Structure 1
């Protein structure tokens, strides 16, 4: 049977992560950054969430015949390290990290090019060269001291009940993530901005838009509990392909920057003969709105946007200019008898926000 025909959820040895991983921001932000790296290096790929391991990368979205696997674990505390004990000792309930890595590799041994253990914390293992392993951002099992490596293989073999010769760590890697654990979103957004600048130097796309869009998609894929009976199902339910990611990037490139949007609707107000003093009030309010819009969890602005978008579908026929439309919308929202009180927002601020959303 071809490898492609075996790619479905029957391969996955455990599925608890799809339920329990909803708070695993580290895994998702790391997957996002890795997706950027893959896109720069490869013309064809498919990244899968919660398939065999936390992240699986296939070498094609149509006819894959090889994959790499990544198990991700976060450790708290700046001085925390992964050691022989924490890697090889099984917990009270479950298997050790190394045993799980071995089992994941064994599921599709011939097609798994590499399997990696990724963490924010360094790995402290004796190396054959005598170098300090905690100084490495990436190291392979082949660099481990032969005697220690033999001990680790023996430990895994005893744990899972197999012959020690079956334990193959030849393509096992340990990767230390550079992501800032105290601000994963900002650090990742910086990575997205660098990616966009490298790949599209002649554009000024919105890194925040792409970052949030991809993260949201990864979250959906990682938490889906729907079973995949075929490769097509697997790609749809938990995959992001080169084609899909390229479409998301293209949409981002087509979006105007905040400054362009503001300049656009202010130019429109000039053509509509809105007085200069009024336009300047709107300009200042728009700048404040842009700053506050970028803030996290601004529930009031989200509700305001929802109201604007809903009322845009109910505009009366006698409104001609954007200034008339914006004022009508703000009047409607301000007089609505709802549980949400928008009176704390200045009118010019509300008009500026409304013009922004109208111009998107």
Structure 2
């Protein structure tokens, strides 16, 4: 059977992460940063969340025939390390980390070109070179001291009840994540900023906006409990392709910052002859609106936005300036007979919000 035909949830050995992974900030932000790296390096790919391992990267979103798997583990404590014991000793329930990695690779052995253990903590395993592995950001299992590697294979073989010759760590690697555990969002935003500067040097888009958009998409994909019966389902439910990611980036590049939107409609008001005093009142209201919009401080805002967007579809032809249109829309919203009472909002605030959505 072709590899593409078996790419569905029947192949996945673990599904607990999709149900209980809502606090897995490290995994999600690492996936975000890895997506940036993959996009810079590959012309075609499909990143999957919670498929076989925490993260899987296929070499195509059409007909993949290779994949890389990444198991992610956060470890508490600044001096914490992963050792032979913590990697190879099975817990009271379940399998050891190395046994799980071996099992994951075995699911599609020929197509799995790399499998990695990723953590914020260093891995302390004796290397054949004598180098200190805790100072490395990445190293393959092939660099582990030969005697220790034999011991690790023997331990996993005993745990799984198979012959040691069946244990293959040939394409296993250990990766230490540089993400700042106490400030994951800001660290990831910095990585997004570097990505944008590298790929789009002539633009100055909002890195924080794109970071939030990617994280939101990853969160949705990682926590979906819908089962995938086919590769098409898998791609739709838990995948992010090159095409999808490029569309997200393009949307960010075309989006104005909040301050740019405010500056633009204030300049229009000045051109239209709106008084300085009135413009300053609108500016203050706009700043308040932006803060509340960002923090979703008022559920009334989404309702107001819906009403404004509906009103925009029926603007009378005799209205010429943005000031006239904004005031007309506010009157329409306030005059509605049913629904939410928007009169509790300051009029300047409503005009500012209306002008923002008109110019966004």
**Structure-2-length-normalised TM-score:** 0.90
What is the total number of aligned residue pairs between the two structures? 356
Matches within 5 A, 1:87-106: 87-106=87-106
Deviations 1:42-68 (A, max 9, x none): 100001111110100001111211100
Q: Are 2:72 and 1:72 equivalent residues in the alignment?
A: yes
Matches within 5 A, 1:114-193: 114-193=114-193
Question: Which whole-Å CA distance do the structure 1 matches of 2:343 and 2:202 have between them?
Answer: 40
CA contact (8 A) 1:196 1:207 kept: yes
Question: Cα distance 1:337–1:181, how it changes in 2: closer, same or farther (>3 A)?
Answer: farther
Question: Which whole-Å CA distance do the structure 1 matches of 2:35 and 2:254 have between them?
Answer: 21
CA contact (8 A) 2:116 2:173 kept: yes
Q: Are 2:305 and 1:308 equivalent residues in the alignment?
A: yes
Deviation at 1:338, TM superposition (A): 8.7
**Equivalence for 1:237:** 237
Question: Which whole-Å CA distance do the structure 1 matches of 2:42 and 2:148 have between them?
Answer: 36
Question: Cα distance 1:151–1:340, how it changes in 2: closer, same or farther (>3 A)?
Answer: farther
CA contact (8 A) 2:311 2:329 kept: no
Question: Which whole-Å CA distance do the structure 2 matches of 1:222 and 1:264 have between them?
Answer: 38
Deviations 1:165-201 (A, max 9, x none): 1111111111111111112111111111111111111
Matches within 5 A, 1:2-41: 2-41=2-41
Structure 1: segments with no counterpart, 5+ residues: none
Question: Which whole-Å CA distance do the structure 2 matches of 1:150 and 1:44 have between them?
Answer: 37
CA contact (8 A) 1:308 1:329 kept: no
Deviations 1:129-152 (A, max 9, x none): 222111111111111111111111
Cα RMSD for the two superposed structures:
2.5
Deviation at 1:13, TM superposition (A): 1.0
CA contact (8 A) 2:29 2:215 kept: yes
**Structure-1-length-normalised TM-score:** 0.90
Deviation at 1:277, TM superposition (A): 2.4
Question: Cα distance 1:348–1:34, how it changes in 2: closer, same or farther (>3 A)?
Answer: same
Question: Cα distance 1:222–1:314, how it changes in 2: closer, same or farther (>3 A)?
Answer: same
Question: Cα distance 1:225–1:130, how it changes in 2: closer, same or farther (>3 A)?
Answer: same
**Equivalence for 1:59:** 59
Deviations 1:57-110 (A, max 9, x none): 001111211100000111112111111111111111111000000000111111
CA contact (8 A) 1:47 1:241 kept: yes
Question: Which whole-Å CA distance do the structure 1 matches of 2:183 and 2:303 have between them?
Answer: 28
Match of 2:248, SS state, is helix
Match of 1:248, SS state, is helix
**Equivalence for 1:264:** 264
Question: Which whole-Å CA distance do the structure 1 matches of 2:201 and 2:343 have between them?
Answer: 41
Structure 2: segments with no counterpart, 5+ residues: none
Question: Which whole-Å CA distance do the structure 2 matches of 1:200 and 1:129 have between them?
Answer: 41
Question: Which whole-Å CA distance do the structure 1 matches of 2:180 and 2:91 have between them?
Answer: 27
